[in-house]
Amino acid sequence: MRHITTPMASEVHMEEAGDVIVLSSNNYLGLADQHEVVDAGKRGLDRYGAGTASVRFICGTFDVHRTLERRIASFLGTESALTYVSCWNANTGLFPTICDEGSAIVSDELNHASIIDGVRLASKARRERFRHGDMQDLEAKLQALGDAFPIVVATDGVFSMEGDLAKLPEIVALAKRYGAIVVVDDSHGTGVMGKTGRGTVEHFGLTGEVDVITGTLGKSLCGAAGGFIAASRALVDTMIQRSRPQLFSNALPATVACSALAAIEYLDAHPELATRLRENVAYFRTGLTRIGYRPLDGQSAIVPIIVGETAFAIAMSDKLLKRGVFVTGFGYPVVPEGTARIRVQMNAKLTREEMDRALAAFEAVGKDVGLLG
């Protein structure tokens, strides 16, 4: 564990390393310490107190939860939305609720662990995995499902370890052909992808054509905690009645709800944040390539660099930290053996000077460990 003593931002103070540039946070838009977002949380604490102290159907729900849920739905172009204490809870609540005996789920093999666990909990459904991004394999799996109902195709919008995007246009087309519904976890796409930061669905021009969107409030949208399901009013009503994480967990803390609501409003008022993020991604990718790295291709704010073995990736991230750059090395079992990586995550508020300092550290460490000539 690393111990940070200042708000999450482009640069933080870390007990173990002093002042460091952050390239390891999901704070893609830099809103975790944005004063409008923080002040909204403070006002929420003053108005509502620490929390509901119970689950929503027992003790009631704060009006800010309703306001936030309506705002999420309008932001994403769905009829309704429901908040959870995390997207993990949203995903593990969704699949066992909507997939009972006779149903089927077809899931991308590289989906997030929360989708994997949610699918596992749908124990009465037929469960299949398709090869990552392989539309022929997806179609073959759909063809083999016969009269299963409902059929659910589940995918990340942005894949967190690869940084690539789901082939949503093809997935939506196949789902329509075979009578399936599409569930997209867009936790790493919300606030990042699309002209106005509405996510991977907006990026592909598919607003209104994806059946269920799940996501988090703990990354771009305030950076604290919380998750959501955005879908039809009927599906959300079903989740309210039957989703176990919803029924048996306290409501989202009002401070988080207020901050997340302010983050959405801030993004809507400042669409240039998403543009600036894309510019920073392009600048840093170009810089990495110039000094000799070969990051995986992608359009998201995640820039992975494959370095080989787990111990090597961890040692490299430690060397970067000593040079003032906080970036995490990932290895087995998070990723397959032999594909350990340094995962760079960009932030809209990183300055050119900060990125240049980080690139200089990457160049020096790359030469030190033998990755660069």
* DSSP character at residue 125: S
Helices 63-76 and 254-269: crossing angle, nearest 10°?
30
Distances from the Cα of 98 to the Cαs of 121, 124, 148, 198, 285, in angstroms? 11, 11, 13, 25, 41
Helices 113-121 and 87-98: crossing angle, nearest 10°?
30
Strands 180-185 and 18-22: unpaired
Pairwise CA distance, residues 97 & 121, whole Å: 9
Catalytic residue among 65, 188, 203, 349: 188
φ, ψ of residue 178 in degrees (nearest 5): -110, 15
Q: Under 8 Å CB-to-CB from 361, ≥6 apart: which residues?
A: 320, 323, 324, 325
Q: Is 35 a catalytic residue?
A: no
User: Can you tell me whether residue 148 is helix, strand or coil?
Assistant: coil
Q: Is 219 a catalytic residue?
A: yes
* DSSP character at residue 60: -
Reported in sequence order, the residue ranges of 99-198 that DSSP labels E, i.e. its strands, are: 104-108, 126-130, 151-156, 180-185
Pairwise CA distance, residues 218 & 226, whole Å: 6
Q: Which two tokens stand for residue 293?
A: 């790295």
Catalytic residue among 86, 160, 187, 300: 160
DSSP, residue by residue, 242-302:
H-HHHHTSBPPPHHHHHHHHHHHHHHHH-THHHHHHHHHHHHHHHHHHHHT--PPP-SSSE
Q: Is 160 a catalytic residue?
A: yes
Closest CA to 23 of 2, 49, 51, 47: 2
Pairwise CA distance, residues 363 & 291, whole Å: 6
Pairwise CA distance, residues 278 & 282, whole Å: 6
CB 313 within 8 A of CB 342: yes
Catalytic residue among 65, 141, 219, 349: 219
- Catalytic center residues: 160, 188, 219
